Amino acid sequence: MADWWNKLQKLGECSQNEPMSRHTTLGVGGEARWFFRPASRAAIVSAMQCIPADVPLLPLGRGSNLLISDDGFTGVVLDVGKLNAVSVKEQILTAECGVRMSKVARQCAENGLSGLEFMATVPGDIGGGVAMNAGAFEQQVSDSLTGIELVSREGEVKTLSAGTLQMGYRHTRLPAGSLVLSATFSLQADDADAIRETMRQMRAKRGGSQPLELPNCGSVFKNPQGDHAARLIEAAGLKGLRIGGARISEKHANFIVNEGDAKSSDVLALIEHAKTVVEQRFGVCLEPEVRAIGGAL
Ligand SMILES: Cc1cc2nc3c(=O)[nH]c(=O)nc-3n(C[C@H](O)[C@H](O)[C@H](O)COP(=O)(O)OP(=O)(O)OC[C@H]3O[C@@H](n4cnc5c(N)ncnc54)[C@H](O)[C@@H]3O)c2cc1C
């Protein structure tokens, strides 16, 4: 066994040929050749120093925006789930990468801090939220993010201000191969009950419009300028279309649901079909929001 893999055994939980269907909210995807869950922040930094530069690395949060190929991932999946500390000092909140966004939302409510209410409705972690510039209800991570701490592929820890990350709609420019260790937000003081009520209303709206009862990865496509991907897909007559075990949701046309036995290839085929038909019918090129790993997107 490779020397570096033996070293990782001392830094956290390790497995080989780990089915990624267990680690993504869509519930599809083949095996990760190596799967590593570091025990601590220091373990991540040490791991980055010992994983060879030519071994592909995939940081994994909640897997709520990932579509991993049926052929799997031939590198190291690095699951940051054990890094879950949050601290609040006045109006500044700092969270480690593995903290669920819903936990950050709870902390905000408890401390009367406004700006991240949408996090009550997004299932990912803080690291994934920064990497995707997650957002909803006219809020997004970049509105209140002041900076991040990251570790480079070589294992060097750096602090970057949010302004250097070129964040846009579901886009953040992170240095290649790096991993976000923590994120710091500057928030506004507000009434705790009002914040809780806003979050409650956001959750209720989500529950009514999204197929949360079945495995999915949230919005499959980004909304094109001035329009909605869901409207275009529905207008193209694709709602309810099924390929294998995957279906374009009847409830929300920009969601693809796994009806139980979907393969990654079924989801990819639906994405490609929807993209082609929408372009033919309306001349709009839809851009996937979901990140396909090892797939054709
Ligand atoms: C029901 C549902 C509703 C959703 N609603 C929304 C919504 O309203 N708004 C929205 O923006 N998104 C939404 N999403 C999508 C998803 O939750 C977000 O994109 C979220 O930010 C992904 O976080 P994650 O931890 O699951 O990241 P993952 O899916 O694990 O990873 C996503 C990307 O981020 C990278 N990444 C993860 N962690 C790190 C890290 N620490 N450092 C560097 N890179 C990292 C991964 O390598 C990958 O490229 C929804 C998803 C679902 C299933």
**CATH number of the domain within which 263 lies:** 3.90.78.10
Same domain, 235 and 174: no
Q: What is the pLDDT of residues 207-263, one digit of tens each?
A: 889 999 999 999 999 999 999 999 999 999 999 999 999 999 999 999 999 999 999
Q: Measured between alpha carbons, how far is residue 106 from residues 98, 112, 257, 260 in Å?
A: 15, 10, 28, 32
| 215 domain-assigned | no
- Where is the domain boundary, 79, 106, 138? 79
Among 53, 79, 105, which residue terminates a domain?
A: 79
Q: How many CB atoms lie within 10 A of CB 214?
A: 17
User: Residue 74 sits in a domain of what CATH number?
Assistant: 3.30.43.10
Q: How confident is the model at residue 41 (pLDDT cuts 50, 70, 90)?
A: very high
Q: Are residues 197 and 131 in the same domain?
A: yes
Answer with the one of 16, 45, 79 that is the final residue of a domain: 79
Percentage of the chain surpassing pLDDT 70? 99
| C-alpha span between 5 and 53 (Å, rounded) | 13
Q: Are residues 54 and 69 in the same domain?
A: yes
Average pLDDT over residues 131-145: 98
How remote is the CA of residue 171 from the centroid of ligand 1, in Å? 11
- Ligand 1 atom index nearest CA of 58: 47
Specify whether 149 is located in the same domain as 164: yes
Do 116 and 31 share a structural domain?
no
- In this prediction, residue 175 carries a pLDDT of 94
In tens, the pLDDT along 5-35 reads: 999 999 999 999 999 999 999 999 999 999 9
Mean of pLDDT values over 74-81: 97
Q: Is 170 noted as a catalytic residue in this protein?
A: yes
Residues with CB under 6 A from ligand 1: 25, 58-66, 80, 97, 121-125, 127-129, 131-132, 134-136, 170, 174, 179-180, 210, 212, 216-218, 291
Close Cβ partners of 246 (under 8 Å, ≥ 6 residues apart): 28, 256, 257, 258, 259, 262, 263, 266, 267, 269, 270
Across 137-155, average pLDDT: 97
Q: Kindly state the average pLDDT of the residues 116-131.
A: 98
Q: How far apart are CA 285 and CA 297, in angstroms?
A: 13
Same domain, 106 and 34: no
What dihedral do alpha carbons 219, 168, 87, 92 form, nearest 10°?
-140
pLDDT of residue 297: 64
Structure confidence at residue 296 (pLDDT)? 59
Average pLDDT across the chain, whole number: 96
Report how far ligand 1's centroid is from the alpha carbon of 232 (Å). Answer: 23
Pocket test for ligand 1, best of 28, 65, 267 (most atoms within 8 A of CB): 65
Position in ligand 1 atom list of the atom nearest CA 140: 11
Q: Which of 122, 151, 267 has most ligand 1 atoms within 8 Å of its beta carbon, as the pocket-test mutant?
A: 122
For residue range 178-214, list pLDDT tens digits in order. Answer: 999 999 999 999 999 999 999 999 999 998 899 999 9
Which residue lies with its CA nearest to atom 1 of ligand 1?
218
User: Which residue in this structure is represented by tokens 């601590």?
Assistant: 40
Q: What is the mean pLDDT of residues 108-115?
A: 98
**pLDDT of 105 over the 70 cut:** yes
